[in-house]
Structure 1
Amino acid sequence: MKRRKFLQNATLGFTALSLPKFPPFLAETRMGVVVHSYAFRGNPKVESKKYPGFQNAIDLMEHCHQIGAGGIQVVVKDWSSDFAKKVRERREKLGMYLEGSIGLPKTAADVATFETEVKNAKEAGAHILRTVSLGGRRYETLHSPEAFQEFKKNATLAIQLAEPIVRKYQVKLGIENHKDWLASELAATLKQLSSEWVGATLDFGNNIALLEDPITTAQTLAPYLMSTHIKDMAVEEYASGFLLSEVPMGKGILDLPKLISICKQHNPNVTFNLEMITRDPLEIPCLNNDYWATFSGVSGSELARMLQMVRKNKPKSALPRVAQLSLDEKLAAEEDNIVQSFDYWKQH
């Protein structure tokens, strides 16, 4: 063998040994996109020649198809029946899947609106709907044990109101761990409800903000798995705790092969929807007293374990920040982060 050919083969062999060991079934799986990955471009009022704002779900779908996505997860609020049919027609032509993002009915008076949204989502071809119980983050929104108990009561009621509707239309409803529920709390709520139509949308990184190990979060919610928000995360220490950022896949600290395997083991047909939010790092102030107001089941050892993990995984450079960028620069960074993640998925 000539020297050049030998070196090429040797390099390829080393690279193959160094790559993450992803399950072989992923070669047949196309990753989708969560609409929140386009936090900037998702605003229809955005004016940019290169990155014009998406006017609706069809715009988003067209673009995501161009970058190689298998589907989208998108907000279905205020859709008409006619628009739902247009979404279905375009989705079928593009060969993509569709998942909806929907708000829960807070009271009985909201059920009719919820049913209309479920019906339109089903008409468009969605068989899975993602939802959240708390719009904000637990440690920023709730400030006492009583406040958390009130949240838990209201969230449980909302899920109970939603269940007969999704059962009627035979659409799966996945409650996201949205920096609100500890995985054990959400799993207990789903177990008590005991409905084949209501489960979890597993976010790979959110519960780091609640001092949970991502593998523990996945293993706890996997028996109830309906859908996912796949992402990679980076961390950095700061005075009151640590900073948490979404980063392009492959550039963070998450064990993506293991997380994916856990998901596939429990739900072979689960979708992997990229949620790569381009933004400044989130502050997780776990060294402040206020952070702990609603956590009765999180121990000091878990805090110590998380801080050790943060210190062990210091980023090579400061976490990315975008607040200081112009709109066009933000749009470009957003697209680049998403495309980098798709390149990583396709290569590995």
Structure 2
Amino acid sequence: MDRREFLHKSAAGAMVFALPTIPDLYKDAGMGIVVHSYASRWNSKTPSKNYPGFTNALDLLDHCRQLGAGGIQTVVNGWSTDFARNVRAKREQLGLYLEGSIGLPKKADDVARFEQEVKNASEAGAQVLRAVCSSGRRYETYHSVDEFKQLTQNALSSLRLAEPVVRQYKVKLAVENHKDWRANELVTLLKQINSEWIGVTLDFGNSISLLEDPMTVAQTLSPYVFTTHIKDMGVDEYPDGFLLSEVPLGQGILDLPAMIALCKKHNPSVTFNLEMITRDPLEIPCLKNEYWSTFADVPATDLVRTLRMVRQHKAKNPLPRVAQLSSEERLAEENENIVACLSYSKNKIGMK
């Protein structure tokens, strides 16, 4: 069942729209790179001959073209019209696609800022803008069901302010499962907006932190997918729950070929953007009472399944850690991980 058929058969209580008709200029492009993959190098204050910092999208485009990536997903705030035109010229020269990462309007007087950023991103050639609705991880930022309900109301308000703008500029807005929404919650949010221009940035690994099975998340969200954050994940135990870490593609627990195929089935023009964040493992404290403060109806079976998965598939070697590294060593590790992921994408999963 393709996305149009899915939406047609799910008309009762579901979004009833078809994918926006936007030319698929980079349908067969190789895997792109999310700016957050360069957490150490982006706007780096560390002088480095081997890994000089990137200060803007032009630097990132040049670098990613040298690596053989298909495109980039980068922040678009603060761009001038002239800079957007320069980005378009550079992107067209290099033959790369561009996606933006944008902040949603929080209230009516923020719409003008949002519209200018959408306009600039569109001028630069972006057809998709990734967005998030929360300021942090659910289990760290929100401390009650009421607080999370308020997040939901704020998200609805923001997306309703954003929708007329992206519809006007014919740019797709893709909300990420950003360690905030469980998959069914994000679908409910999208159904309330009910717009062909608002869909999903499907992050392959984030929702493990919310005790969700990654393949189930992909099955739930792929009918709405516009773009992706492709990554692989390693896991291990720790006293208060489990550790979760991005690892180079092919070294983790995710069934990447199956997840990629599912996304392509529902949206043949979907893009795959590497988000390989080189950092210490995240602690997911799912055995502490505080973790559960926003979850009203998550079944115990989800916790049991997740902890069983961690025990069965925990990393054979310690998960990577970088806090002890020098700045230069961290830059080198970051670069090595990204290059390894691009090599895997070309040689193992058939992306250019």
What's 2:7 paired with? none
When residues 217 and 293 of structure 1 are mapped into structure 2, their CA distance, relative to the original with a 3 A threshold, is same
Separation (CA, whole Å) in 2 of partners of 1:238 and 1:305: 16
Residue 227 (str. 1) matches residue 266 (str. 2): no
Which amino acid is the alignment partner of residue 65 of structure 1? Answer: R
Q: SS at the partner of 1:252?
A: coil
Say what the alpha-carbon RMSD is for the aligned residues: 1.0
What's 1:283 paired with? 283
What's 1:165 paired with? 165
Which amino acid is the alignment partner of residue 288 of structure 1? Answer: K
Identity %: 64
- Deviation string 1:197-245 (CA, Å, 9 cap, x unpaired) is 0000000000000000011111111111110000000000000000000
Residue 263 (str. 1) matches residue 278 (str. 2): no
Aligned pairs for 1:138-157 (under 5 A) are 138-157=138-157
Separation (CA, whole Å) in 2 of partners of 1:59 and 1:109: 32
Q: SS at the partner of 2:314?
A: coil
Separation (CA, whole Å) in 2 of partners of 1:341 and 1:89: 28
Residue 103 (str. 1) matches residue 103 (str. 2): yes
Q: SS at the partner of 1:272?
A: strand
What's 1:317 paired with? 317
Greater shift in the superposed pair: 217-226 or 269-278: 217-226
> Displacement of 1:46 after TM fit?
3.2
> Displacement of 1:297 after TM fit?
2.3
What's 1:129 paired with? 129
Counterpart contact for 1:202–1:225, Cα < 8 Å: yes
What's 2:246 paired with? 246
What's 1:66 paired with? 66
Greater shift in the superposed pair: 171-180 or 38-47: 38-47
> Displacement of 1:182 after TM fit?
0.6
Aligned pairs for 1:3-82 (under 5 A) are 28-82=28-82
- Deviation string 1:31-50 (CA, Å, 9 cap, x unpaired) is 00000000000124332111
Q: Which runs of at least 4 in structure 1 moved beyond 6 Å after TM superposition? A: none
Separation (CA, whole Å) in 1 of partners of 2:244 and 2:159: 29
Separation (CA, whole Å) in 2 of partners of 1:317 and 1:44: 30
Greater shift in the superposed pair: 38-47 or 78-87: 38-47
Aligned pairs for 1:152-231 (under 5 A) are 152-231=152-231
Which amino acid is the alignment partner of residue 41 of structure 2? Answer: R
- Unaligned segments of structure 1, at least 5 residues: 1-26
> Displacement of 1:29 after TM fit?
4.3
What's 1:346 paired with? 346
Q: Whose radius of gyration is greater, 1 or 2?
A: 1
- Deviation string 1:288-322 (CA, Å, 9 cap, x unpaired) is 00000001121111100000000001211110000
- Deviation string 1:40-75 (CA, Å, 9 cap, x unpaired) is 001243321110110110001100110110000000
Counterpart contact for 1:86–1:124, Cα < 8 Å: yes
> Displacement of 1:135 after TM fit?
2.0
What's 2:304 paired with? 304
Which amino acid is the alignment partner of residue 117 of structure 2? Answer: E
What TM-score do the two structures reach when normalised by structure 1?
Answer: 0.91
